[in-house]
Amino acid sequence: MSDDVSKRRLGRGLAALIGEMDQPVPVGEPRSSVNPDRTVPIEFVTRNPKNPRRYFDESELQDLAGSIRQHGIVQPVVVRTRSADRFEIIAGERRWRAAQLAGLVEIPVIVRDVDDRTALELAIVENVQRADLNPLEEALGYEQLIAEHGYTQNDLGEIIGKSRSHVANSLRLLKLPDPVRDMLADGSLSAGHARALVSTPDPVSLARTITSKGMSVRDAEKLAQTHIKAQNAPPQPDLRPEKDSDTVALERSLSDRLGLSVSISHKGNGGQIRISYKTLDQLEEVCRLLEGR
């Protein structure tokens, strides 16, 4: 299959390669009328290690497992052949996981003959169409297609039915440090929150502020802009007057005598002497000297 044909077919959605699965079912006809190619032992089916989806909510899996115990798998798992009797999932890993929890021995499958690239494309398209990917998984899937198969952002936009700017904004999330990416993956931060942090000097601390205060995306954008402006602001000049040589010499003399840092500042006819200490013993020594003991 040529690149152009693959992209055109994928651009029309999963129906292009998975067939009847995305077609509407007539009213009153059960979804299970989508006939599987065969039923295979569940242990003969393995997940696709390059599936962009990494996070599966345990409670949702348990709910699906309960439904499967009652009604079985009503939508077959789409797989490709890896050997004579072994299969790798293209679409439907969540159903496969729930079927294991439900104790199924066999599952219905639809077998499709596709290469590695097309399997990855289909996995991304299926999950994006179902909104099953969190923003980080989606971005990692796009990155993988670009890195391994030479797709442009325009290509990806056509495949998934999104704009090029959507793809670009998704990829920007990968510039964030790991702690922020973890918050994005577990749902603590939305994609809108995370995008506002990409260009900030300290996205981790800002992300924690946003989550702790329950800030909206708009508020997060304002917070980010404030920090970006502060980062780019020119340094303020030191307006303090330079100390004359006599003051510097006196500071040095007192520092040598006390063994501590001494700073003298003049203001009008008066001023201040500041003695810095690090331990209580040093403070006690200063007090002893001042009391003349």
Read off the pLDDT of residues 55-79 as tens digits, 9 standing for 90 and up: 777 888 898 889 889 888 888 898 9
Q: Show the domain range for 255.
A: 245-290
The residue ranking higher by pLDDT, 286 or 107, is 107
On the question of pLDDT at 8 being above 60, the answer is no
Average pLDDT over residues 245-270: 82
pLDDT tier, 137 (very low <50, low <70, confident <90, very high otherwise): confident
CB half-sphere exposure, 126, CA atoms < 13 A: 25
38 shares a domain with 72: yes
Tokens 């169409």 correspond to what residue? 129
The CB density around residue 135, as the number of other CB atoms within 10 Å, is 21
CA-CA distance, 213 to 210, in Å (whole number)?
5
117 shares a domain with 15: yes
Query: Would you say residue 11 lies in a domain?
Result: yes
Tokens 């004359």 correspond to what residue? 244
Query: Would you say residue 160 lies in a domain?
Result: no
Say what percent of the chain tops pLDDT 90: 26
Say what percent of the chain tops pLDDT 70: 83
18 shares a domain with 81: yes
Q: Which of 88, 93, 121, 137 is catalytic?
A: 93
Query: Would you say residue 190 lies in a domain?
Result: yes
Report the domain count for the chain: 3
272 shares a domain with 206: no
Query: Would you say residue 277 lies in a domain?
Result: yes
Query: Would you say residue 138 lies in a domain?
Result: no
Query: Would you say residue 257 lies in a domain?
Result: yes
Query: Would you say residue 68 lies in a domain?
Result: yes
93 is catalytic: yes
Output the pLDDT for position 221: 92
CA-CA distance, 207 to 156, in Å (whole number)?
29
The DSSP letter of residue 79 is: E
The residue ranking higher by pLDDT, 217 or 13, is 217
Read off the pLDDT of residues 186-206 as tens digits, 9 standing for 90 and up: 889 999 999 999 989 899 999
Tokens 């063994």 correspond to what residue? 259
Read off the pLDDT of residues 98-117 as tens digits, 9 standing for 90 and up: 999 999 999 999 898 888 88
CA-nearest of 39, 97, 92, 35 to 63 is: 97
**What is the torsional sign of CA 202, 208, 212, 214?**
positive
pLDDT tier, 22 (very low <50, low <70, confident <90, very high otherwise): very low
Average pLDDT over residues 136-142: 86
110 shares a domain with 221: no
C-alpha distance from residue 150 to each of 4, 27, 143, 206 (Å) = 13, 43, 10, 34
